[in-house]
Structure 1
Amino acid sequence: MMLVLALPILLLTASDGTDAATGDYKNIQHLHNLCRLVALNQITTLPGGVSEISPAETEELEKINISLANPEWKTTFATSPQNKKQSRPKCTPPGNTPQCSQQYAKWEDLWVQVHATEDSKKEYLLPKSKLMSQEGRAAAVSVQALLVEAEDIRATFNSYRKAALAHQQGTPQQLIHEAIFGTAMPGDLTKTECAVALTSTRKTDCEGGPGKQALCGTLVCLCGQNNTQNEELCGTAASASGPSSWVDAQKAAIWAPILSVCNKYPTPSPTAEKIHQLIATTLAAAERQNTGGDHITLGESGNDGSCAAATGMGCIQLTDTGSTTASAPTGKLTWKEKLEKAADEIKIHENAAARRQAAIQRIQQLTKHAKHLITALKNSFPDAATQTISTQKPQTKQQSSEVAEECHKHDNKNATCPKDK
């Protein structure tokens, strides 16, 4: 039993010893967290459709509606494309007569579609007797109400969508790209260069705005080597040893290997919840460690919270997240704000997609109800107007006797003759 317990302890001790070695990957966890945010750039599309609900969604309902309309009213409609009223010279351009109106053209188009094939005729056309029966007129009124509701649903969603998806702050992809690379909107979303401008002083950049402007600036501060900081803080691949000084001209040489590592990360789930989760995970590490002086830092810092150039030190100051003194926090983490705005836009997209799906499902339910009504009418019994009803009065007893007597004269009192009672 002691041997079983001793082995994990030994391995843990060995691991701790490796972590404490000079030149180890002190910021590797931060690299991992930040790369998961950089991978958001791989999101090109968002789940769920948010396009306008087209008139095609209510077309089936409209065909049923016009099929149940008064047959006398439909006599002026063409039943083939070549006979459409809108194609006549007097309606080009549309005139003021009813037959030249856009609404008339829409009805006529639907009526032509109803007559387009034998299958559509079989599906939509009913005899006049059924259309003008009480059941037929009731079905027509019901379908009209269903169509009105469906068109209202479509119009309401399209109006909501136009306002909700205005992207006043930018599209999610634009905001994510700016948060990662610092490129102002609208920018080329295919470019991956770090647009954060560095000075010649690591302390100025990593304690000030450049290190907090974009994720690329944060990663350069946490992982980059220069003539003073020469350790592989983020591992051999990300912390390349090439850069010899901290100047803007060396920024690309620092950023390129970091990006090559982050590009290997899988695309995160494109949801608002996931973005907030990744941000929280990234900043939680800063809240638990590397505090000192009057600063909270992300990455390996000096005891006083300094992010100045020093061997084995690479960090940014998060003075916007809190302070150990009574003074107000200063600065802001710009990339965090951009990602949160992107999450807000994605949430709007999610809500719009859900509303669109619900709207289409409701329209489909209304269409199904209308199809049930026209099918029931089609399969109903012939109406009373098609039945022959006798108006003759019943024969009296005297008349019956006369008929019986006449019958007996011809068939010798055959049993099939009516009896004389």
Structure 2
Amino acid sequence: MEQKCAATKLVLAIYLALSAQIKADDHTNAVNLADLSFLCKIIALTKAQTTDFYNADSDSAPIAKLQLLNMSLSDPSWKAQFPKIQGNKPDTPDYCKGSNEKKACKGQYATREAAARGAEEPMNLPGKVVYPDKTLATEAGQATHLLVKATLAAAISKKDTYDRQNKPTLQNFKTNVKDALDNIVYGQSAAGQTAATICKATAEADRQSSCKLSKMAKTVCGTAICLCHNDGTQNANICGGATSTTPTAFRTTSMAAVYDKIHEKCGLTPVPNLTSGYIAALATGLLSKLKTKEANLAAKVYLGTITSSNDCSSEANKGCVDFTEISEGNGDAPISAELWPTKLLEIASNLRKAEQALTAKHETQTTLSTLQKQAEHLYEHLQHTPLPPEQAKDHTSQKTQGTTADDCKSPAETVDQCPSASRIYNITTKECKPKAGEESTAAGPGDAAAGENMKEEKCRGKKKNECKDGCKWEGKECKDSSILVNKQFSLMVYAFVSLVAF
């Protein structure tokens, strides 16, 4: 029993020793492991969540609600232009028959007709109230309509500004950011690909000519292959364990299959939140990891471990990528904007614009919702505003205030139709004219003010229990209720206007 236990312990010790040796061998020559880890962070960008940027449309429901409120408060003659039609509707409504832009007019008509139908249903309106025409005809009703109309105009203007300035940026997000990331990382869309097919990487004649930014290393995955792949001459795991499959030479053929192990390793990298600042930091960090080496009286800029001949050819335990093409100090021609380190900065810039557009979308939505709530509050408040009392008609005073000529029928068939007390009757012409000094006079400019004073006078001095019939008690005195209505509504209008940012 003791011998069996000792044998088991020996086997376990050998297994652990071999495992440790294998693990150590995996990383003995891992000179490029840190550089691969950095590339994996760029590769992980293709997996980041981007759906927040895909819906460029702002919610138009608040504007539809404002259109409904505006229609409900409109003059009846205006609403009559959008009748409820039974049966088939005409191709061109009467509203648009005189329009030179019939297509645009039909769209406008459809919007207003929908608002007219919605305004007929109390359930669609604040307080479930459809106001009668007499309420809409009051000063309070007309002022409410004007404010709601102005609020609708402000909402439409806000949405139009977003649609014109920001919406196109979000509509182009997939092309300018998501697809662009896939292209610089893999050379194609990542959708539907496997680890063995996702990387488009075609080698040149050898490792040295392949591992340049304008050649096989024109993608991030191609750069990773140059940095890590065991081609037989370079025969070590210089990016850590199991990052190379069967050694494959660089010979004008696709190297996609040799990327699969690298892809699996990079799959361990946490998926980041996609932000412009993070991408810009990666682009800047990449430049900081580049090294320089003098070769044949020229400076070589590279990532990885350069060979003893100061290039990126194939050599045991060495592997690098030639980045000299993005070095301003070593070239005579402008740096290509299509090289992936440059494209990475461009993507960061495009993402920054998309972030700003998304913020503008949220701000627009908040503004539209606020305008809708303010208009609904104003609409509902109108039902609590008392109507001005109807003034009793005094026929006697109306007749007294009329002109002397008002009682004269001319031509008059008989003298009886022309009172002799104040008129002169001409039998020949049958004319009935006022006597001298009895002519009518026009109302003076102070008459309107006098009328307002009369309203005040009829209520002034009354006790609280007598303050009725067109009068209302306010504070410590009796006042004309129509004046109070206008005052209260004016204050309400002022408060509302101060809240709306037109």
Shift, 1:145, TM fit: 1.0
Deviation string for 1:68-126 (max 9, x for gaps)?
11234435655xxxxx22x544x432244559963444323223223345464843412
Letter in 2 for 1:340: L
Partner of 1:340: 345
2:279 aligned with 1:275, yes or no? yes
Identity of paired residues, percent?
22
> Which one of the candidate residues 316, 331, 338 is aligned to 1:311?
316
Aligned equivalents of 2:127 and 2:347: distance in 1?
52
Per the alignment, in what secondary structure is the counterpart of residue 296 of structure 1?
Answer: strand
SS in 2 for 1:277: helix
Q: Structure 2 residue aligned with 1:195, among 200, 203, 208?
A: 200
Shift of 1:316: 0.7
SS at the partner of 1:47?
helix
Q: Is the 8 Å Cα contact of residues 68 and 115 (structure 2) preserved in structure 1?
A: yes
Q: Counterpart of 2:289 in structure 1: which amino acid? A: A
- From the superposition, tell whether residues 228 and 326 of structure 1 become closer, same or farther in structure 2 (CA, over 3 Å): closer
| Highest RCO, 1 vs 2 (Cα 8 Å, sep ≥ 6) | 1
Pairing 1:373–2:375 present: no
Determine if contact 1:43/1:173 at 8 Å carries over to the other structure.
no
Q: CA deviation at 1:330?
A: 8.2
What secondary structure, in the 3-state scheme, does the structure 2 residue paired with 1:171 have? Answer: helix
Contact kept, 8 Å, 2:203 with 2:255, in 1: the verdict is: yes
Cα distance, 1:41 vs structure 2: 1.4
1:247-306 CA-to-partner distances (Å, cap 9, x unmatched) read 35572342110011112222222122111111222331224xx63432121001125531
CA deviation map 1:159-206 (0-9, x unaligned) = 2245445649933121111101123xxx56433532221023111112
What is the aligned-residue RMSD (CA, Å)? Answer: 3.4
> Normalising by the residue count of structure 2, what TM-score does the alignment of the two structures yield?
0.64
Query: 1:92 corresponds to which residue?
Result: 90
2:202, 2:216 within 8 Å by CA — same for their partners in 1?
A: no
Distance change (3 Å), C-alpha of 1:49 and 1:124: farther
1:291 is matched with 293
Asked if residue 260 in structure 1 is aligned to residue 258 in structure 2, the reply is no
* Rg larger in structure: 2
The residue that corresponds to 1:107 in the other structure is 112
Name structure 1 gaps, 5 residues minimum.
1-17, 79-83, 394-421
The size of the alignment, in residue pairs, is 361
2:54 and 2:173 in contact (8 A); partners too: no
Looking at structure 2, the residues matched to 219 and 48 of structure 1 have their Cα atoms a distance apart, in angstroms, of 30
Deviation at 1:225, TM superposition (A): 0.2
* Structure 1 position 314, deviation (Å): 0.6
Paired residues of 2:232 and 2:248 also in contact (CA < 8 A):
yes
Q: Which segment drifts farther, 228-237 or 291-300?
A: 291-300
Q: Indicate the residue corresponding to 1:130 in structure 2.
A: 135
Give 1:377 deviation, angstroms: 1.2
Whole-angstrom CA distance in 1 between matches of 2:244 and 2:288: 23
Aligned to 1:362: 367
Determine the structure 1 residue equivalent to 2:159. 154
Return 5+ residue gaps in structure 2 as ranges. 1-22, 398-502
Deviations 1:311-370 (A, max 9, x none): 0111011113437x7764887572213322322322222121111112222222222221
Match in the other structure for 1:63: 68
Q: Aligned partners of 1:256 and 1:204: how far apart in 2?
A: 22
- Structure 1 residues 40 and 169 mapped into 2: Cα distance closer, same or farther (>3 Å)? closer
Cα gap change, 1:285 to 1:384, in 2 (>3 Å): same
Which residue type is aligned with residue 293 of structure 2? T
Letter in 2 for 1:38: I
Given the alignment of the two structures, is residue 350 of structure 1 paired with residue 355 of structure 2, yes or no?
yes
Q: 1:10: which partner in 2? A: none
Contact 1:49 1:353 survives alignment (8 Å): no
**Amino acid across the alignment from 1:128:** D
- The 1:250/1:129 distance shift into structure 2, 3 A limit, reads closer
Q: Structure 1 residue aligned with 2:30, among 25, 29, 52?
A: 25
